[in-house]
Amino acid sequence: MRASAASSAAAPPGWLAALSAWPPYSRLPPEVQRQLEARALVRELKRGQYVWREGERAAHFVLILRGLVKIVHPTPAGQEPILGIFGQGDSIGDSAVLQQAGYPADALVSSRSATLLQLESAPLLRAQQALPQVSQAMQQVLIGHTRELREKINVTSAGSVPQRLAALLLYLARRFGAAPAAGAWSVPLAISRAELAALAGTTVETTIRTLSRWRRQGLIASAAGSGLLLPRPGELRRIQAGSPQA
């Protein structure tokens, strides 16, 4: 059996499988894999706790084992626009680690709690410079981050507030949810109305009014446990496209 992680919390079941599914790790030589595993650190954080702060030196790769992490860039006016939201299986902050620079924004837990796997950067950086397959895998991860940023831009540039919120809910359903047999989509995330507003680039009040209207119209519903159901995703797609509601 491979060495278990030295951790600030008990290593959760399946942590090694999650790590093995991360493309850069899967391309490493076995001896480097064992080195990363032996020195890995499991972190358990609650909602609102920081993974890192803007300007902090990026010295570790971070893989999300459970929960959600949002990337936030506070403005001088006190606003906190959300640049992205990441979940299980995602790595975060990779670009800053590769540049050996400071983090350009804050990262904090958005879900009720989150379990993170923190990996020393030095062994992987050495392998990334020496082994083309590791470098290619890291590029694959960075391309995925760019794709998520493009999705966020698509949401905030979708048009009116209803168009942006419809685009956001559909994006979250595609990204994190599932499509039950009945055709309804699920957004299994405990995201606050304030976070939805920040992601869509609007106010909390407008978000609440819009979602309340959609709930009355049967476009959204509460899911069991937490999150939302989207019983009529086709109608949300029409709203995103700018078609008037029936």
Give the tens place of pLDDT for each residue, 140-149: 888 887 877 7
> 97 has which bridge partners?
none
Cβ(185)–Cβ(177) under 8 Å?
yes
Cβ(188)–Cβ(112) under 8 Å?
no
Whether residue 136 sits in one domain with residue 60: yes
Is residue 97 a part of any domain in this protein?
Answer: yes
Read off the CATH number of the domain in which 105 is found: 2.60.120.10
Question: Which stretches in the chain have pLDDT values below 50?
Answer: 1-7, 246
Is residue 10 a part of any domain in this protein?
Answer: no
Is residue 9 a part of any domain in this protein?
Answer: no
What is the C-alpha end-to-end distance of the chain, expressed in Å?
Answer: 60
Instruction: Compute CA 131 distance to the chain's CA centroid, rounded to the nearest angstrom.
Output: 28
pLDDT number for residue 77: 74
Whether residue 167 sits in one domain with residue 87: no
Is residue 6 a part of any domain in this protein?
Answer: no
Final residue in a domain of this structure, among 155, 189, 206? 155
Final residue in a domain of this structure, among 155, 190, 210? 155
Whether residue 163 sits in one domain with residue 225: yes
Number of structural domains the chain divides into? 2
Final residue in a domain of this structure, among 100, 121, 155? 155
Read off the CATH number of the domain in which 233 is found: 1.10.10.10
Whether residue 145 sits in one domain with residue 23: yes
pLDDT number for residue 116: 95
pLDDT number for residue 92: 93
pLDDT number for residue 78: 72
Residue 30 lies in domain: 15-155
